[in-house]
C-alpha cells in the first residue's frame, strides 16, 4: 500500500513540521463523474447527510479559493492572528486592504451550488451545513442555520469590550476617514482583502471601537487563531448525528475542517467529496468526484426532486 507523510497542523490555520511517524494512505483517484454523482445521489436520498463546505464552493460567485490552481495563496500571505493583535502597522495594512476588498464580498451573490445545497436541505436530503467560508453566501441562499465555522466578514468585534457591530457600519466610518481607494486592478482574496500600493496603506486611517476605543477585528478566525471550542463541539455533535458527510469544495489542508472528516471516518460514516483536485483526506473518502460544484449539485438536486415527485 502506498503511503505519504501527513503534515500536522496544531492550530486551525498554521502549519508546523511533519509529525514524526504519522502516515496516511495516498489519495485515491476520483471516480468517473456519472458514477460518482449516482453514488452521491443514492447517499443523499436517505437524508440526514451533513455538509462541510469550503472556499471552492464560492469560486463561481467570484471569490477565489486559497489552494486551487488559481488560489490566492499563490500570490499573497493571509493576515495571522498574532500579527493582527501585536502589530499596529499590520492592522493598518489589513484594514486598508480589507476596506477595498469588502465591496466585492458585499456584492457577491449565492451561486448555483449554494442554491442547490439549500434545495437539498429543504428537501430533507441534507441535515446540518458547516461552512469554512466567511462570505455569508450560504445564509444569503436561505440556509440560515449554516454554522459559520470561521465566522463572518459581515460582522466586526471589538477586542476590548467584545461588542459586535455590522461591517457596513464600519465601512461607512472607514470611507468617511479615508475616502475612495483605487485598487481596481487587484483581485479580491478569500479573506476579503486586496493588494494595495504601500503609500495607500501607510496613509490609511484605522478607526477604533465607538464604545470603548478598543481595537476592531473582523469576526472571523484568522490563520493561527483557534475556532471557539463551543463552536467546534457543536459541529462535532452535528457530525455525530449525521448518516454521512459530504465535503464540498475544500482541500481539507488545515485541521479546522479535516477534524470533522476524521470524526466521521472514526464513526464509520460514509464520506463523499466533491472537489477540484485531491484533498488531504481522500484516504477517508468512499466517493470522490472532480466536477464543477454548481453543475454537480444542481444535477443532484434536480434528480432527487424528480424522484420525489414521481
Q: What is the structure's pLDDT at 28? A: 54
CA distances from 136 to 149, 151, 194, 262 (A): 11, 9, 19, 26
Give the annotated binding-site residues for NAD(+).
Answer: 54-74, 132-135, 249-251, 275-277, 293
The answer to whether residues 260 and 244 touch, using CB atoms and an 8 Å cutoff, is no
Give me the helix-helix angle, 112-122 and 293-309, nearest 10°.
Answer: 30
Q: What is the pLDDT along the chain (310 residues), one digit of tens a residue?
A: 222 222 222 234 433 333 332 323 344 566 788 999 999 999 999 999 999 999 999 999 998 875 444 444 444 577 899 999 999 999 999 999 999 888 888 999 999 999 999 999 999 999 999 999 999 999 999 999 999 999 999 999 999 999 999 999 999 999 999 987 765 445 677 667 788 888 999 999 999 999 999 999 999 999 999 999 999 999 999 999 999 999 999 999 999 999 999 999 999 999 999 999 999 999 999 999 999 999 999 999 999 998 776 6
Complete DSSP assignment for 167-234: HHHHHHHHHHHH-----TTPPPPTTS-----HHHHHHPPP---TTT---EEEEE--BT-PPPHHHHHH
Give the annotated binding-site residues.
Answer: 54-74, 132-135, 158, 161, 209, 212, 249-251, 275-277, 293
Q: What is the DSSP letter of 149?
A: T
Q: What is the structure's pLDDT at 196? A: 84
Q: What is the structure's pLDDT at 59? A: 94
Q: What is the structure's pLDDT at 112? A: 98
Set 99, 150, 175, 234: catalytic member: 150
Please tell me the pTM assigned to this model: 0.86
Q: What is the structure's pLDDT at 294? A: 97
Cα–Cα dist 294/115, whole Å: 9
Cα–Cα dist 89/277, whole Å: 37
| 234 is a catalytic site residue | no
Q: Which residues contact 79 (CB under 8 A, 6 or more apart)?
A: 90, 94, 191, 193, 222, 223
Q: What is the structure's pLDDT at 273? A: 97
Q: What is the structure's pLDDT at 30? A: 67
Give the annotated binding-site residues for Zn(2+).
Answer: 158, 161, 209, 212
- Domain residue extents for the chain: 30-309
Q: What is the structure's pLDDT at 129? A: 98
Cα–Cα dist 138/114, whole Å: 6
Give me the helix-helix angle, 167-178 and 88-107, nearest 10°.
Answer: 120
- CATH class of the 30-309 domain in this structure: alpha beta
Amino acid at each position: 500500500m502506498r503511503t505519504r507523510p501527513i503534515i500536522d497542523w496544531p492550530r486551525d490555520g498554521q502549519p508546523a513540521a511533519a509529525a514524526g511517524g504519522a502516515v496516511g494512505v495516498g489519495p485515491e483517484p476520483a471516480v468517473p463523474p456519472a458514477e460518482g454523482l449516482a453514488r452521491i445521489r443514492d447517499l443523499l436520498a436517505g437524508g440526514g447527510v451533513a455538509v462541510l463546505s469550503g472556499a471552492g464552493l464560492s469560486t463561481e460567485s467570484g471569490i477565489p479559493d486559497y489552494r486551487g490552481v488559481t488560489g490566492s495563496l499563490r500570490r499573497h500571505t493571509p493576515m495571522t492572528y498574532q500579527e493582527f493583535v501585536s502589530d499596529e502597522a499590520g492592522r493598518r495594512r489589513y484594514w486598508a486592504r480589507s476596506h477595498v476588498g469588502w465591496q466585492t464580498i458585499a456584492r457577491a451573490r449565492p451561486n448555483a451550488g449554494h442554491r442547490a445545497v439549500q434545495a437539498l436541505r429543504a428537501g430533507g436530503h441534507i441535515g446540518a451545513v458547516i461552512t469554512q467560508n466567511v462570505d455569508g453566501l450560504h445564509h444569503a441562499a436561505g440556509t440560515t442555520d449554516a454554522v459559520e465555522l470561521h465566522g463572518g466578514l459581515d460582522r466586526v468585534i471589538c477586542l476590548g469590550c467584545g461588542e459586535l457591530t455590522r461591517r457596513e457600519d464600519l465601512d461607512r466610518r472607514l470611507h468617511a476617514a479615508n475616502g475612495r481607494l483605487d485598487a481596481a486592478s487587484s483581485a479580491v482574496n478569500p479573506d476579503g482583502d486586496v493588494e494595495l500600493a504601500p503609500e495607500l496603506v501607510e496613509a490609511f486611517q484605522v478607526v477604533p471601537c465607538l464604545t470603548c476605543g478598543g481595537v476592531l477585528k473582523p469576526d472571523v478566525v484568522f490563520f493561527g487563531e483557534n475556532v471557539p471550542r463551543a463552536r467546534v463541539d457543536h459541529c462535532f455533535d452535528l457530525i455525530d448525528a449525521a448518516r454521512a458527510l459530504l465535503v464540498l469544495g475544500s482541500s481539507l489542508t488545515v485541521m479546522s475542517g479535516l477534524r470533522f472528516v476524521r470524526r466521521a471516518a472514526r464513526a464509520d460514516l460514509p464520506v463523499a467529496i466533491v472537489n477540484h483536485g485531491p484533498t488531504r483526506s481522500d484516504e477517508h473518502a468512499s466517493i470522490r468526484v472532480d466536477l464543477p460544484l454548481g453543475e454537480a449539485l444542481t444535477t443532484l438536486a434536480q434528480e432527487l426532486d424528480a424522484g420525489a415527485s414521481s
